[in-house]
């Protein structure tokens, strides 16, 4: 999951803001939470699991009010068709 060329859309579930990050989904939700909720855009969590607000769900990841879906083929996500 170190591929920084991946593009992830992150959504705030409280106000529907959308942002695009060139990060894997698990890192993108942490970046959004730190930057937009805590005004700490310099924060770097190389391991999202170490962030106290990070959660992994069957279909995606969350951190605070920010969510991103897993890409097809990632853990426990059914491929279409």
28's enclosing H/E stretch is helix 25-32
- 34 located within any domain: yes
Name residues whose C-beta falls within 8 Å of residue 71's C-beta, 6 or more positions apart in sequence. Answer: 6, 25, 77
Report whether 73 contacts 64 (CB < 8 A).
Answer: no
Q: Is 51 a member of any domain?
A: yes
For residues 38 and 20, the answer to whether their CB atoms sit within 8 Å is no
> For residue 2, is it within any domain?
no
Which range marks the domain in which residue 17 is found? 8-69
Asked if the model's pLDDT at residue 74 lies above 70, the reply is no
Q: Is 45 exposed, middle or buried (0-12, 13-18, 19+ CB in 10 A)?
A: middle
CB atoms within 10 A of CB 23: 22
Query: Is 64 contained in some domain?
Result: yes
Domain count within the chain: 1
Residue pLDDT, tens place only, 33-73: 999 999 998 877 789 999 999 999 999 999 999 999 998 77
81 assigned to some structural domain: no
**What is the pLDDT, as a whole number, of residue 72?**
79
What is the predicted pLDDT for the residue at 1? 43
Note the pLDDT of residue 75: 60
> What integer is the mean pLDDT of 19-30?
96
């Amino acid at each position: 999951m170190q591929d920084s060329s991946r593009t992830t859309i992150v959504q705030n579930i409280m106000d529907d803001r959308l942002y695009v990050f060139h990060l894997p989904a698990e890192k993108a939700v942490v970046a959004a939470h730190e930057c937009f909720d805590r005004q700490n855009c310099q924060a770097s969590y190389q391991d999202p699991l170490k962030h106290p607000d990070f959660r992994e769900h069957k279909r995606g990841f969350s951190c605070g009010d920010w969510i991103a879906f897993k890409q097809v083929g990632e853990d426990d996500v059914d491929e279409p068709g």
